[in-house]
Structure 1
Amino acid sequence: MDFTLPESALAVRDGIAAVTAKYGYDYWDRCDSEHRWPEEVYRDLAEGGWLGLAIPEEYGGGGQGLLELAVALESLAGSGAGAAASFIYLLSPGFGGLTIMRHGTEEQKRRFLPGLASGEIETCFALTEPDAGSNAINIATHARRDGDGWLVKGQKIWISGVERADHMLLVTRTTPAAEAKPRANGFTVFVVDVKAAVEAGTLTYQPIPKMGTNTVASSMVFLDDLRVTDEDVLGTVDGGFAVLWDILNPERILASASGVGGAEAALKVAVSYAIDRAPFGKPIGANQAIAFPLAKIKAQTELARLMTYKAAWLWDRGEPCGSEANIAKLTASEAAWQAADRTFQTHGGMAYSLEYPVARMFRDARIGKNIPVAEELVLAHIAQHDLGLPKSY
């Protein structure tokens, strides 16, 4: 058993650190307050080849795996971006790159992967619906046969990055849940040309005002007889559940990496303040009431990092990783939230001042306990699948 990161992952960590060295906490604060995508960082990552890490070399990528992608995201988040970093690696390298790499036809790989590797193509992912929420089995967005193609009708919610995306990985029902046997059958994933659909008026979207993570918009999406073809199917018709799990598990692993990095970023802010602040003649960090909670969060962060790496390593090997991905997500999101909360408390009343990045990190870290899957559902999965307890939902 060797816990040493491979040279490829260490090189990624150092490379991302070099890219982000000129972008501090203030940069991410500005992007968030201005509700704008971090174009400068994204461009630098694209030019350095850091977005195509997990895409095979024959398609212009780095030929690495999800582990290296997770390390990249962790390093980016830890540089001060926090949860805002997750979208840079989730939307296109994760949703688009990993999924098309594993489930795309050769034509789809050659069509999409080089552009995803270079940053010229951006993707988003559309699963969640207003009336289905975390219960993906009950999604109502339906694709029906129409001549040599399909017409899609339905709604999606909390779709991040659609305003930037060239293509969307769209999860539909091609067989209604009531008719599918088992009910997990009947899903089909399509790769949708977003800009063409917007121009045709068959895809519209409306951004949702959000509490945080304002570097990217999250939108309601409306699909009104959106036309797709058999060439747009990712995987097989009615066999999209296998594709879906190869989206959801990496999503949870990358979200975990973001949580680990976000926890580290918050701890850096808290520790710096605890060393500099000395209202009673000595640094407040010398007090155990300040030091011990921060030390405990550091321990939690290290545990979450180990599980994140393990889950990514299993996925790269093609082994089952559902439990590990869930545990990583649970522990990392909790570490990120506790770190942000304790950073807030360490700053006292000054945490309320936008002079510090505490407010942004506090807002952004909280959503990690709910997305990409609520911690209650993670606990239900662990109880059922790892402990053998009866299903609770």
Structure 2
Amino acid sequence: MSKHTFDQYAITSTVSRIVEGLGFKTPTPIQQQVLPPALRGESLIGQSHTGSGKTHAYLLPLLNKMDESLDEVQFVITAPTRELAIQIHEEVKKAIRFAGKEEAWLSKLLIGGTDKQKMVDKLASRKPHIVVGTPGRILDMVKEEAVDLYHAKGFVLDEADLMLDLGFIEEVDQILVRMDENVQMLVFSATIPERLQPFLKKYLTNPVHIQIEDDKPSPETMEHRLVPLRHKDPADVIIEISKSIQPYLAIIFTNGKKHADQLADDLISRGLEVGVLHGGLSPRERKRMLKELQSLRYQYIVATDLASRGIDIQGVSHVINAQMPKEEEFYVHRVGRTARAGLQGTAINLYKESDLPLIQKLEKKGLTFEFYEVKNGEWKEINAYNERQNRERRTSDIERKAKQMVRKPKKVKPGYKKKIKKEASKNLRKLKRESYKRK
């Protein structure tokens, strides 16, 4: 038996059929670490980036405990957005199909934007074994007594930090107080912000903490460009960029809903047709915007970090950071929307001096940035932000060396300082010539 196969885990023959149907051969790093404790029924916190295989890291252990003789909800999966909940539910349905359990296992998707009474009626006809949905609608169904979650064995909180940002943690809290206190908690999050700690401490006692560090923070087919703002209006710079690129679809990221609306208005007033996507839109508006994106109505969409994880947008060729994110993980999520499946992708970052610490952290992680400005719709390569600092450092090092090379006289005579200065200048010219020859 090879070191990393699904055979090494204590999974049922039904779950083995799911793995086979999915075409999985080797578990991903997050699956390798999550499966053993999750299969033992332990609660855990898993930190990993989008696309790491975390959905099946929690799905397989939960399906492994399915008891079809019980006519009750056995596990609950919550996601911060309807779109993400739909994606997870599709994976659950696929797993049920591969397991050959279409008649025995029932999964229900509980999300907003659908008729509440119809949902209540459907839940009354047959109780689901699996509930997938957004916290608000799940809580609605619990309050309507259309669904009882008390006997559920497992609870998944996916994209916990985004759940916190969008203000849904309170609803998650209200769901959990109506569940058995011994429920297995599986929390997944790209980052664990300080504000999330009280919630985690309340519901998880000594959880297993798993953190997956990606070797490569972005695909090799990804190009990262840095464009200095230099007190210019971001909308003006983006208009210049738009003259030089032909995106299939470009996402323009901002930090927050107000900034997104403002930038969209500024770009529209300058003649660029853009869509807007953020957590402040109603479910109906979001649905309409995603439909318009799929029908290629827009080449550009101004968005918040909601679109970097909570929503699946196909065909993104360019990511433009109108504002650099506050944390490196968010940069990785944003640029992760493009260069998928081996395709090319470009990240264009408008930066200010205050963004340099973040850029330096990303460089330490292995990202390579190229420095450009764009004028009259044309890209022009420029010196790196630290080129002058490096040049000054090199010059001061050479000057120091030139001074050290000067032979100080044993006896001090009149005019010796002038003589030393002259010799140091001579040495400096010689060292500079040698330095340029080596380049």
Greater helix content: 1
TM above 0.5, yes or no, is no
Alignment TM-score, normalising by the size of structure 1 = 0.26
Larger Rg: 2
Higher relative contact order (CA 8 A, sep 6+): 1
